Structure 1
Amino acid sequence: MFHRFKKYGAVIAIGSFFLFYFFFMKDNPKDEANLTPNSFPEASNQTEEKNEQSKSLEKIIVDIKGNVVKPGIYEMAHDARVHEAIDLAGGFNEKAEQTAINLAQKIQDEMVIYVPAQGEVEQSQVNLSDSDSNQSKIRINSATADEIESLNGIGPSKAQAIIDYREENGLFQSVEDLLEVPGIGEKTLENLKEDIQVP
């Protein structure tokens, strides 16, 4: 009987070991811990590449001309202001007509910032246009509220609506995009489209 008990005891011990091993491995969090994002280098590399692409999209190019210390083409942050561009170009020189420049204006990609000399005809805008016919037009993507209000049929509320739409949805790509702005209809657009420039 003692040998029989010893035989069954060994069987029970072995069975208990396997049961313990099975449940221990089932609940062991090591396997789950190994399935972290760090275990997938390809996914991490893709994330890093997307971040780099996003950073590159935040840079824009501006052309600074006229009466600054170092005229030239500069790379800047997408949310920079004109005063930062002037500082980057070394500041105004002694001939600059500083009052002709809106230093608080936001810059945009491919923008030309021209600083006139004292005695030159004051310009209502910072940007230079490609042709004389466009020099008096309002650049709707960079115009201030006061400049937009100077347009035919545009009051303070519509001017603010244009600016709000521009900031929330990005720059206008065509004149017709203004129809998406609340309060701007076909008739209003017809009255002002000859006086604005997009982009």
Structure 2
Amino acid sequence: MSVLKRYVWFIMVLAVIGVLYFSNPSNDGKTERTEVEEVTIQGEEEKKTPSATMKVDVKGEVNTPGVYTMKEGTRVDDVIKEAGGMTENADMTSVNLAQRIQDEMVIFVTSITTAQSTSNESGEGNTPSGDKLSINRASASEMETLNGIGPSKAASIIKYREENGPFASVEDLVNVPGIGEKTLEGLKEWITVP
């Protein structure tokens, strides 16, 4: 009987140790995983949450032109809405509403009458007249009015601009496939960046 009592005590001690071991939260693998998951989720949220602000100058045919402070990652459409939207005379094709803003960016919404007079003046000479053409805002058809720029080069410029962001300088145009130094020299007097 004394041998049986010894084994019972031994089994009871092991049972108590087992209960204490498995009920301790620091040894629970699930708890540790949850904490890691929470840290990972917080890290992802921090990456998604833009913290930087940008100053953008909105001009032209908007109801309230001015300088606006916006969060990083904001689109041109959101800035124009912040500026009270476009006026009745605004040419909606003069800006890329889906473009992400950059700090110190100027968004200029032209009027319909300006757009019509520019297209009438440029005619068949394949050179723009009046103001320089902004390579960061121009549409493919507007770029095709430039000497040496056909439909494929215009499409390449727009593709490059959408994938890499706006051009920082006119000279950056040589980074576009199909445009070399010679083409750039012929375009410099007709194009601008802002």
Indicate the TM-score class for this superposition, using the shorter chain for normalisation. 0.5 to 0.7
Q: Which runs of 5+ in 2 are unaligned?
A: 120-128
Q: In percent, how many aligned pairs have the same letter?
A: 35
Question: Aligned in 2, Cα 1:60/1:191: closer, same or farther, shift over 3 Å?
Answer: same
Aligned partner (choices 60, 63, 79) of residue 59 of structure 2: 63
Residues paired across the two proteins, number: 171
Q: Could you tell me whether the CA contact under 8 Å between 1:64 and 1:73 is conserved in 2?
A: no
Q: Which runs of 5+ in 1 are unaligned?
A: 93-97, 125-133
Runs of 4+ off more than 6 Å: 83-87
TM-score, normalised with respect to structure 2: 0.65
Q: Could you tell me whether the CA contact under 8 Å between 2:133 and 2:192 is conserved in 1?
A: yes
TM-score, normalised with respect to structure 1: 0.63
- 1:44-63 correspondence runs (5 A): 44=42, 47-48=45-46, 51-53=49-51, 56-57=53-54, 60-63=56-59
Question: Which residue pairs with 1:103 in the alignment?
Answer: 92
Q: What's the C-alpha RMSD, in Å, of the aligned pairs?
A: 4.1
- Bigger Rg, structure 1 or 2: 1
Question: Which residue pairs with 1:151 in the alignment?
Answer: 146
Aligned partner (choices 171, 174, 178) of residue 176 of structure 1: 171
Q: Could you tell me whether the CA contact under 8 Å between 1:179 and 1:186 is conserved in 2?
A: yes
Q: Could you tell me whether the CA contact under 8 Å between 2:132 and 2:192 is conserved in 1?
A: yes
- 1:1-199 correspondence runs (5 A): 2-19=1-18, 21-22=20-21, 25=24, 28-32=28-32, 35-38=35-38, 44=42, 47-48=45-46, 51-53=49-51, 56-57=53-54, 60-64=56-60, 70=63, 72-73=65-66, 75=68, 78-80=75-77, 88=85, 91-92=87-88, 98=89, 102-104=91-93, 105-106=95-96, 109-115=105-111, 122-123=117-118, 135-199=130-194
Aligned residue identity for 1:113: V
SS of the residue corresponding to residue 80 of structure 1 reads helix
SS of the residue corresponding to residue 189 of structure 2 reads helix
